[in-house]
């Protein structure tokens, strides 16, 4: 397969994962979906690399794959076991409506890609990346459980990673690695934070935070 069709092929699971994320209430499924999406996105720099494979890209993909595909799911599963929550119950926005908004977001991203004049080779990847960011933000805004919001954060990060791969292939390695490290720390901290929220409020519903305002 040539590069363009490979890129197109990679876009499909990413978009499907977005829609599935918006539709699923089981937190374990969410973790797996984000991990799958992360794993697919981790290898996209290989596709967009023009010319022979460089050490730079290889290292980046390996680290990203390791973190997004293996380490994060492990950490998140562990957190989930600790806080004994299985489902996102009563989100602010229902699942059908979320999916509808997700599709709207995808359309908006496609329009945006056209509007910005993204070259045809990376047109769909750009749209998918932007849709992933929107999906992540949508999850953060419309879900009540702190855990699902972490999922949204990771999805948004996946989108940003893909966007970087599309727009700036072969960018400075240390910046990308630093971002990955940031996300790693963030997941770590969020795991601990969620654990503490659970202990303090006996649940991880963020609407209880209202009682913290002055």
* Residues of this chain that bind other proteins (CB under 8 A): 92, 112, 115-116, 137, 140-144, 149, 206-207, 209-213
* Nearest distance from C-beta of residue 156 to other proteins, angstroms: 10
When the beta carbons of 116 and 185 are compared against other proteins, the nearer one is: 116
What are the distances in angstroms from CA 36 to CA 39, 69, 70, 166, 208?
Answer: 5, 7, 10, 19, 31
Q: Smaller CB distance to other proteins: residue 62 or 92?
A: 92
Work out the burial of residue 161: count CB atoms within 10 Å of its CB; fewer than 13 is exposed, 13-18 middle, 19 or more buried. Answer: buried
Instruction: State in angstroms the smallest separation of the CB of 135 from other proteins.
Output: 12
Nearer to other proteins, 68 or 143 (CB): 143
The least distance separating other proteins from the CB of residue 204, rounded to whole angstroms, comes to 12
**Residue 97, Cβ neighbours under 10 Å: how many?**
12
* All residues at 6 or more sequence positions from 111 whose CB lies less than 8 Å from its CB, including other chains: none
Considering the complex, what minimum distance in angstroms separates the CB of residue 176 from other proteins? 22
Distance, in Å, from the CA atom of 14 to the CA atom of 57, rounded to the nearest integer, reads 20
CB 148 within 8 A of CB 139: yes
Q: Which is nearer to other proteins, 97 or 141 (CB)?
A: 141
């Amino acid at each position: 397969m040539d590069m363009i069709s490979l890129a197109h092929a990679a876009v499909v699971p990413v978009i499907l994962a977005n829609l599935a994320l918006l539709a699923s209430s089981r937190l374990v499924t969410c973790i797996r979906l984000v991990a799958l999406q992360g794993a697919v996105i981790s290898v996209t720099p290989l596709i967009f690399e023009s010319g022979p494979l460089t050490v730079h890209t290889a290292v980046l993909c390996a680290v990203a794959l390791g973190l997004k595909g293996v380490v994060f799911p492990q950490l998140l599963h562990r957190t989930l076991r600790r806080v004994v929550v299985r489902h996102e119950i009563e989100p602010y926005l229902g699942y059908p409506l979320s999916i509808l908004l997700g599709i709207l977001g995808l359309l908006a991203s496609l329009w945006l890609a056209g509007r910005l004049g993204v070259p045809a080779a990376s047109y769909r990847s750009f749209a998918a990346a932007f849709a992933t960011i929107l999906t992540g933000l949508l999850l953060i805004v419309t879900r009540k459980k702190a855990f699902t919001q972490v999922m949204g954060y990771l999805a948004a990060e996946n989108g940003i990673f893909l966007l970087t791969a599309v727009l700036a292939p072969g960018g400075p390695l240390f910046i990308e690695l630093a971002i990955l490290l940031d996300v790693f720390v963030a997941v770590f901290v969020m795991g601990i934070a969620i654990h503490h929220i659970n202990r303090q409020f006996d649940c991880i519903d963020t609407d209880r935070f209202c009682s913290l305002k002055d």
